[in-house]
Structures are given as structure tokens and as C-alpha cells.
Amino acid sequence: MPDTSNAFVKFSGVQKTYDGETLVVKNLNLEIARGEFLTMLGPSGSGKTTTLMMLAGFEAPTQGSILLGGCSIDNVPPNKRNIGMVFQNYALFPHMTVEENLAFPLKVRKLGKAEIAMRIKRALDMVRLVAYGSRRPGQLSGGQQQRVALARALVFDPKLVLMDEPLGALDKQLREQMQLEIKHIHKALGVTVVYVTHDQSEALTMSNRIAVFNGGAIQQLAVPAELYERPQNAFVAEFIGENNRLHGKLVTLKGATCVVEVSGARNVQAVAVNVEAVGQPTVLSLRPERVKLNPMPGSMPNIFSARVEEIIYLGDHVRTRVSVCGHDDFVLKLPSSDGLAQLEPGAEIAIGWKTEDCRALAASNGTGAAAR
């Protein structure tokens, strides 16, 4: 039966095992809207690439169903799904020119010569490679080859494009440039994109929503700002951006706030996000850029004495590692300014942070699967 929801892509109770015992993907329920750019983000072995391969048709679910446009594609072979694919290794035909590579999926679909020529020109225009149509892949740079691979995935007007670590082989500057190009092309075409990466900055830059995978399950599914500012468990907090972790014990819990005792019997006020009972272990999550240097006494509830351990100048900011609350790997990111020149290893300083910037999370990473 057709699906009646508004989801363009829908995973319903999808599981995958290769050996009949270990689940690589666990009970995945995920809906992707038409025109959305959704990134599956996670470490190696988290299940994100297997999920993408099941959507592409290169792997079959052990259990559950995948719907595209409201119809099941469980028994549809990959070449019949009308899905564009972009891989890290480009997967271009080395003996063909750029134009011949782009023409291949169009000839398979039996389009006429005039239509093929028009689509090739439009695709090369889109990736700014019109002048390179007669060259072979070996005559192009890595970035140019990736643009050709992207053009080939889009040339037949698919409604869904899958990208598996497509920028992993590029250097940092070119990778950042391509991130913006792909983002702009997505916005211009309105095509649905499902993107796989282990690079959290790439996911934050490009995505409408991000699904963070770990242990075969989605730990959190949200827009980039929500994931960064309000992680729901310790794994997401640690995996998305740099993060200070203070281990402690829940002392009091009152509504949306709590008090956590950390090393040295210091009490820290925090937002209670995902905590267990009073007396149970808890992890405090705090972004380095939220920590203030030498705050005015009484200006915030969490002010502590710290000792400077290391200072690294990074241009627009100074990364300062300190010992505080029994932890010697606590990091501050402070804007570069003349006022920081007095910071020296061994110096005693005061640091502080607001209650709302500190999140109390369960000590375990969490294994729950997410929904919509």
C-alpha cells in the first residue's frame, strides 16, 4: 500500500545484520522530506554508510521497509530506483571524456541526441566545467573530477541524490569550497540529498538536518544549531564540535535545573537535560567558547579558580587549556586580543559560565533510535 505521510524517503523498522547476530543498523525509523539536505553523521562502523547503501539498493534490509515517494523500493534493483550517486573515489570512466561520462546515464535512459547535448551543457554549466567537456578524468584535478561526478549524478534530473563521503579525498581548502558549491546547487535545484560523512564541520555547514549515528542507531536528529547548542546525550555532545566534559554526581534536581558535585566537592549548576536519579553519575557538557575569563564576582553562578596549563595561538582565537574542578584538560576559546597577552602557563585565573550553557547528561552515551 502507498504511504500516506508527507515523507519522500521513509525507513520503517529497518534492521541490517551481516552475520545473523550483530545488528549494524538497529530498528531505524527515519523520515526525510522532499527537497531536504539530510546528513548522516557518525564514526566508522556507526551504521550510516550501510543505511545509505540500503537506500541505494546495494544492500538489502534484514528487516523493515524503505519507501521512496510513498512506494516500497525493497524489491527494486539499484538501476531502477532513479537515484543519483556521488562517491569519494569519483567512479568516473577513465577512457571516456567528461561529456561522454555525463552522456552515459542519459543514453541508458534512451534520451535523444539533442536532449542529451542540452542536459550535458546545463550540468557542466552548473559545476563551471563547460570548457573541460573534451578532457578525460586523468587530465583533471581532484576537485574537477569531483565536480564531474556531481554533474553526472544530477544530469538525468533525479529526485534523490546520495553522496557517500564525496569530499574525503580533497584537501581542506578545496573541501570547504566544494561544501558551499554543493549547498548552493542543492538550493538552486531543490533536489533531495542524503549525505554521509564523519566530518562534523562538513555536516554543520551543509545540512538542513543531521542524523547522528552511533552503534547502529540514531542518537539525535535535529537541525545543526540544535545539535550543537542542545545535545541530548554525552555522545552527541562529544562528537559535534569541541566540548568540555566534567564528570560528577547529581546532588539536587529541581525542575529544569540541577546541581552536580564534581571533583574537589565543587558544586556546579546546570540545565538538567538527560539525568538519572540523585546520587547517580552525570556528565556536564560545556562548549569552550561559552567559558568566560575573569568574570565579575556574582555575575554568574559558576565561578572557579583555574590554573593555566597550555596556550595555543590560532589566529582569530586563543585556545587555553586549564586545570579546574579536578580536570586538567578543560579548554577555553578566547578571542585574540591584547588583554590575553598576560596569560602564561602556571598562572592562576578565574573562569566562569552560565547555568544555561552547562548541560547535565547521563553518564552513558545512549543507544536510542530516533524518529522524524
Q: 305 with 209, same domain? A: no
Residue 1 located in a structural domain: no
Q: Over range 81-102, report the average pLDDT.
A: 91
Q: 168 with 202, same domain? A: yes
Residue 204 has a pLDDT of: 94
Report which DSSP code applies to 233.
S
**What is the span of the domain harbouring residue 325?**
234-362
Strands 317-324 and 327-335: antiparallel
| CA separation for the pair 151, 96 (Å, rounded) | 15
Q: 145 with 38, same domain? A: yes
Q: Please identify which residue in the block is written with the cell numbers 534536581.
A: 253
Strands 63-68 and 9-17: antiparallel
| CA separation for the pair 343, 310 (Å, rounded) | 9
Long-range pairs, 330-333, Cβ under 8 A, ≥24:
330/244, 330/246, 330/306, 331/242, 331/244, 331/288, 332/288, 332/291, 332/293, 333/242, 333/288, 333/289, 333/291
Q: At what angle do helices 172-189 and 142-154 cross, to 10 degrees?
A: 20
Q: 97 with 186, same domain? A: yes
Q: 218 with 112, same domain? A: yes
Q: What is the pLDDT of residues 168-196, one digit of tens each?
A: 878 888 889 889 999 999 999 999 999 99
Q: 131 with 249, same domain? A: no
Are 61 and 15 spatial neighbours (Cβ–Cβ below 8 Å)?
Answer: yes
Q: What is the pLDDT of residues 229-277, one digit of tens each?
A: 999 998 999 899 889 999 999 999 998 999 999 986 689 999 999 888 8
Residue 140 has a pLDDT of: 93
Q: 122 with 221, same domain? A: yes
Contacts of 201 (CB under 8 A, 6+ apart): none
CATH number at residue 260: 2.40.50.100
Residue ending a domain, choose from 173, 196, 229:
229
Strands 266-274 and 281-286: unpaired
Q: 122 with 248, same domain? A: no
Q: 189 with 305, same domain? A: no
Q: 155 with 292, same domain? A: no
Number of separate domains in the chain: 2
Q: 279 with 198, same domain? A: no
Residue ending a domain, choose from 210, 229, 248:
229
